[in-house]
Chains A and B, each alone.
Chain A
Amino acid sequence: MATITCREFLDHLEPWMEGERPQDSLAHVRTCANCSSVIKDLEAIHSEARSWSASEQDAPERVWTSLRAQLEQEGLIRETTPARESTAHAAAPRRGWFAGLFPRLPRPVLAGAYLAALVAVAFALSGPVNKRVNEARWLKGTQISTSPLSAQLNFAEQNSHSYVTRSNPVVAASLHQNLAIVDNYIALCEKSVSEDPQNEVARDYLYEAYQQKADLLTQLTERGENVQ
């Protein structure tokens, strides 16, 4: 049986996540611990995303388009070649596995959480190839992935300041104080990751810090909704 490289496997990651299991890819995953690990991580994220509240609204199509473009720009996913694309998939209108990764995008603020997950995916995908390529990928991925993430969270943060003006000052102070703590952690984690792009622990902490920030901004927004 023909075997494929990690690069070739990752090139066809999207159809894999949509359920396509070509023999050469299956054989590669069985023997490659790195790619197997990537798949497990993505499936875990996929599973977690599915558990998000079904009451939330779908994200606008442009969000998926934009995020897909980002991943393609990073070279982390690519358009599948016609030869590998099944007829059924070609015929069916779809948002793809990537949209299915986060089937329900909640409020605009939580788009930040989604983007944080995007960063995590980008990090996970940057693992298996050689160190130099990984570091270059990471640095590029950082610029591409975290810039819109930071911008979106910062935008939400600016809006959130007006939300809590009428709420309990103790609560408002606590939320803003903890937001500052998380911002500080984000800065420190980003510094650590930029110094050592391969550092999984720092990447995990960075990912969690982004999630915490998105959670905090959501709380601020919810309180704003309550008092307005």
Chain B
Amino acid sequence: MSSSHFVPAQWLPKTNWKTAGLLVPSLLFCSAVSAGPRRQEQHFKVAAHPVITIHNPNGLITVKAWTKAEVMVISTPASDRIEVDAEQMGNRVDVSTRELSDSVAPDDMRADFQINVPEDAELQIHNDAGSVSVANVLGDMNVETVAAGVDLEDAAGYLSVKTVGGSFTCIRCTGRIEASSISGNFRLLDLRSYHVWAQTSSGNILFNGEFLPNGTYSLKNYSGVIELRFSPGDSFDLSATSLKGKVNNEAKLTPSPHQRHFMPRWGNALFGTFNEGRAKIEMTSFDGTINILKRD
């Protein structure tokens, strides 16, 4: 980086305030660059079903599966006032960000991660802000954030996601999905999951996936819109209740032969069976709108 401080000699005799005004910020910038992010790459050999834990206050976390029996952690701290620790304990790799002094500014408490793991890895991720993105990991997963959004693609296993305000998108996921938030929006697309439990207070929920036989699908919010898409060949028992909102339905439902439904005492409710009623769907809202729509 020393070359960054080079100043052409021909500029010196002509130095004036304008030039100085340009040079000083440049020099400061170069100094800042030289003390900037320190990219760090670490590799850990692991056995089958390794566990990877990540604790980070803020930053972009990208996790991808690969075919190697190895975990690779590439970290980029935002400042030299924090440090990324990555260490292996048996078949577990713990990654965490820690401050090096007591007075680290919030903006400095940030680190970005690119992590590659075996596809059967189990993940435990805690990231308050920024984002979390995971692709092709088939092991169990637990993700907790405050403001960070969570994107899962082609994930399987037991997927547990909890955010405060962060959104959650799950594409082509299988296995068991449990997600909760207060104001985050949920998008559950092209799922092949036998168990989905999604609850957000003010967020919207979009479910567009398969309803597997004996699968259970519970979608709940307080306000906002819950939208569920179905195809003519789907088979489910449906229960949809909005205490103070509307329930819009395009499915031709028949009275359920599987279980006795009571007439709703409160709000707008809809109960019935579509085709054979192999899956069970429950949708509940306080004053939000529930839409049960045909898939395009």
Which residues between 157 and 174 of chain A lie within 8 Å of chain B, taking CB atoms?
Answer: 166-171, 173-174
A167-208 CB contacts (< 8 Å) to partner B: 167-171, 173-175, 177-178, 181-182, 185, 188-189, 192, 196, 198-202, 205
Which B residues are within 8 Å of any A CB, using their own CB? 57-58, 106, 109, 128-129, 146-147, 164-165, 182-183, 201-202, 222, 241, 243-244, 265-267, 284, 286-287
Are B165 and A174 closer than 8 Å at their CB atoms? yes
Give 7 A-B pairs besides A181-B182, A192-B244 with Cβ atoms closer than 8 angstroms.
A168-B57, A168-B106, A168-B109, A174-B129, A188-B286, A198-B265, A219-B164
CB distance from B105 to the nearest CB of A (A): 9
* Per-residue B-contact encoding for A200-220, CB less than 8 Å = 1, 0 else: 111001000100100010010
- Chain A positions 133 through 165: 1 when the CB is less than 8 Å from some CB of chain B, otherwise 0: 000000000000000000000000000000000
Chain A contact residues, CB within 8 Å of chain B = 166-171, 173-175, 177-178, 181-182, 185, 188-189, 192, 196, 198-202, 205, 209, 212, 216, 219
Contact partner of B147 (CB less than 8 A), chosen from A174, A192, A200, A201, is: A174
Contacts of A198 in B (CB 8 A): 265
CA distance A171 to B58 in the complex (A): 9
The secondary-structure label for the interface of chain A is helix
Check B146–A201 contact: CB distance below 8 A.
no
Whole-angstrom distance between the alpha carbons of A124 and B286 in the complex? 20
B26 CB to nearest chain A CB (Å): 30
> Cβ of B128 and Cβ of A202 under 8 Å apart?
no
Residues of A within 8 A of B266 (CB): 196, 199-202
Expressed in whole angstroms, the Cα–Cα distance for A192 and B287 within the complex equals: 11
| Contact between A185 and B222, CB atoms less than 8 A apart | yes
A108 to B57: give the CA distance in the assembly, Å: 24
- What residues of A have a CB within 8 angstroms of the CB of B201 in the complex? 181-182, 185, 209, 212
- Do A170 and B129 have beta carbons less than 8 Å apart? yes
CA distance A198 to B266 in the complex (A): 10
Question: Can you show 19 pairs from A to B with CB atoms below 8 A apart?
Answer: A166-B106, A168-B58, A168-B129, A171-B58, A174-B146, A174-B164, A175-B164, A177-B183, A178-B183, A181-B201, A182-B201, A192-B244, A200-B266, A202-B286, A205-B222, A209-B222, A212-B182, A216-B164, A219-B164
Q: Which residue of A lies closest to B242 (CB)?
A: A201
Q: Of B128, B182, B201, which is in contact with the most chain A CB atoms at under 10 Å from its CB?
A: B182
Q: Chain A's nearest CB lies how many Å from the CB of B179?
A: 14
Asked if B146 contacts A219 (CB within 8 A), the reply is yes
User: Would you call A170 and B183 a contact (CB within 8 A)?
Assistant: no
Distance A188 CA – B164 CA, assembled complex (angstroms): 20
In the complex, what residue of chain A is closest to B162 when comparing beta carbons?
Answer: A215
Considering the complex of A and B, which 5 residue pairs feature the smallest CB-CB distances, nearest first? A174-B147, A174-B165, A178-B182, A168-B106, A171-B128
